[in-house]
Chains A and B, each alone.
Chain A
Amino acid sequence: DAKTTQPPSMDCAEGRAANLPCNHSTISGNEYVYWYRQIHSQGPQYIIHGLKNNETNEMASLIITEDRKSSTLILPHATLRDTAVYYCIVRVVGMRDSSYKLIFGSGTRLLVRP
């Protein structure tokens, strides 16, 4: 299973971009990178995922390096409500064709300052 490494904590000012890095140097060619976040005492929320191309949706952008060994989640204009733990996850394919499980590490605790 490919592992991910994230800084334990980061902070940014409200209204500025938050750039959250993730290393996944052992990722294999058919594994996707997923990002989730968890606001205190709530269930995790899906943000975005990608394979090799950069992706953007209404919540964030995902930049994956050409060698796929690292990625960056970008929240373009962080708000106080973006304060949460952010998890970078590499998809693991289970034994059966349609199954998979997510392996959650400790994540990055992002604090958005007023």
Chain B
Amino acid sequence: DGGITQSPKYLFRKEGQNVTLSCEQNLNHDAMYWYRQDPGQGLRLIYYSQIVNDFQKGDIAEGYSVSREKKESFPLTVTSAQKNPTAFYLCASSTHSGGKNIQYFGAGTRLSVL
């Protein structure tokens, strides 16, 4: 089955700890994205990457870091600098062929602070 896999589904972070959220896709998509969603709110863009070894900050990048060493993978690290990390994190990918640029989303990771 083709798709986007996020893991873990639930994650707990202790104060001062960095945690990494995994996102893997087997859709052969060039672009990948990370969004954050707070309760009752829409999605906000954290980082995005159009190609391997390249990524750009989104609207709320402070306290987060990413890497894109492989086309299939776009992990997100929530650093200790992110003072309010509790949220639902969503990863997406898209292809640019055909001009449609439709984003496909994973099932999400719910991060809570202990």
Measured CB to CB, the residues of A under 8 A from B are 34, 41-46, 49, 87, 91, 94-96, 98-107
Contact = CB atoms under 8 A, between A and B. Distances in A.
Nearest to A105: B42
Contact of A104 (B30, B31, B43, B96): B43
Interface of B: 4, 30-31, 33, 35, 40-45, 48, 50, 56, 58, 88, 90, 92, 96, 100-108, 110
Given A49-B102, A101-B33, A43 B42 contact: no
Contacts of B42: 87, 104-107
A101 B43 contact: no
A95 B48 CA distance: 12
B48 A101 contact: yes
A98 B88 CA distance: 27
A77 to B, nearest CB: 24
